[in-house]
Amino acid sequence: MASTGGPDHEAGEETATPTRPGPTDISDPLIRHEARKAFVWIGMVALFALGVFLSQSLLVIFGGIVFAALIDGGARMIGRVLPIGRGWRVALVLLAAMLFMLWLGRFAGSQITQQAAELPNTIESQFHRGLAWLSRHGMEIRVRDVRSIAQEAMGGIGQVTAVLGGLLGGITTLFLILVLGIYIAMEPRLYRRGVGWMLPVDRRDHFETTAQVMGRALRRLLFGRVIGMTVEGLFTWFMLQLFGVPMAVLLGLITGLLAFLPNLGAPISGAIMVLVGFSVSAEMGVYTIFVYLLIHLIDGYLIVPYIARKTVDLPPALVLAAQLIMGVLFGLLGLALADPLVAMIKIWLEREAARNGGGEPAEDVGKLEKA
């Protein structure tokens, strides 16, 4: 009888084995709940570590999004005049940008190149004159000490930011940003729907509206920056050319390009302008100071308030802190993208706070309907 009951007994054991508690089963509900919370925190830490590891690549992707917003803004402006397809409008924007670069290189390239070759010598000579003036007034500053401090500062930053460009340098990074921007600008809804598809169903509508609000604010922010760069660059060139300041074209170009960096661009371009002015005469140096102050007034009381009123009002201290942090971590690219990144984060936090409060901001929805 023992032998006849053996197979049934073994079969019963096989069917009963999966129902027995395993080494990973937790019987206490409280411990099981706390374990799930611990795994969530571990996952968040791992996700944060992955974000830090991929931070350079993510910054390049964000640069592509910013460039795509710039193209999209131009395509929308053309669409108000020409009722053509989006692909043709994007092509017209890229063609206009290419023609402008060709014009700049053809008509002003030789002059700018010549002036750019003279600018370092002018700045260095003015630097030595400034040190000599300080020495005559009892302040002994050796050039070797200043150079060593500058080299240590730039070397410390360079060690952190050298990863961004990779082996092929910053040209590869710029090329990737341009390619990503063109692809995203051609079909922005495709990528927006793709990201929304990965979210829970109840959050997709909120994400879609938030993405549209961010896109609209980013387009207006960049449009304001382009207007500011154009106005400041042309005004600087005209005022300096009017008084006969050397390198007026180059100084206007530098002022226009650095106008993209709020808080930091104006002092740098102003310092270069003043050094060039004092290299000729004291009167010309005083005139360049006047031009710089006039540009600063135009930027501070006309351009910046216009941009803040049309987009996101960001505290200057917050923008400056973000620029310093992003500049140290990611170099020039991080410095240029700090302001748009802070604006997008602020919009996201405001909309999340409104959603947690029980509703969507009505003013944002109204703006989207008018856009």
* Predicted local distance difference test score (pLDDT) of residue 68: 92
Question: pLDDT averaged over consecutive 10-residue blocks of the chain (371 residues)?
Answer: 49 51 63 78 84 83 91 90 88 90 71 66 68 64 51 41 46 86 89 87 87 90 86 89 85 86 81 84 88 82 68 77 86 86 90 75 50 50
User: Which residues, 6 or more positions from 23, have their beta carbon under 8 angstroms from its beta carbon?
Assistant: none
* Predicted local distance difference test score (pLDDT) of residue 67: 92
* Predicted local distance difference test score (pLDDT) of residue 18: 53
Indicate the SS3 state at residue 1: coil
- Residue found under tokens 């917003």: 69
* Predicted local distance difference test score (pLDDT) of residue 152: 44
Is-contact 119 250, C-beta < 8 A? yes
Length of the chain: 371
Residue 289: other Cβ atoms inside 10 A: 15
- Residue found under tokens 């409008």: 89
User: Which residues, 6 or more positions from 367, have their beta carbon under 8 angstroms from its beta carbon?
Assistant: 213, 216
* Predicted local distance difference test score (pLDDT) of residue 153: 41
Sign of CA dihedral 276, 108, 177, 162: negative
- CA pair distance 181, 160, nearest whole angstrom: 26
* Predicted local distance difference test score (pLDDT) of residue 39: 82
* Predicted local distance difference test score (pLDDT) of residue 158: 41
* Predicted local distance difference test score (pLDDT) of residue 335: 85
Six-digit token string for 260: 């993209």
Q: First-to-last CA distance in the chain?
A: 87
* Predicted local distance difference test score (pLDDT) of residue 358: 60
Alpha helix stretches (DSSP H) within the chain: 6-16, 29-53, 55-79, 86-107, 109-136, 143-165, 170-186, 188-197, 201-243, 248-258, 265-278, 282-298, 304-310, 316-356, 362-370
- CA pair distance 11, 3, nearest whole angstrom: 14
* Predicted local distance difference test score (pLDDT) of residue 95: 92
Instruction: Note the pLDDT tens digit of each residue in 354-371.
Output: 888 765 554 554 455 445
* Predicted local distance difference test score (pLDDT) of residue 157: 38
* Predicted local distance difference test score (pLDDT) of residue 17: 47
User: Which residues, 6 or more positions from 266, have their beta carbon under 8 angstroms from its beta carbon?
Assistant: 258, 259, 292, 295, 296, 299
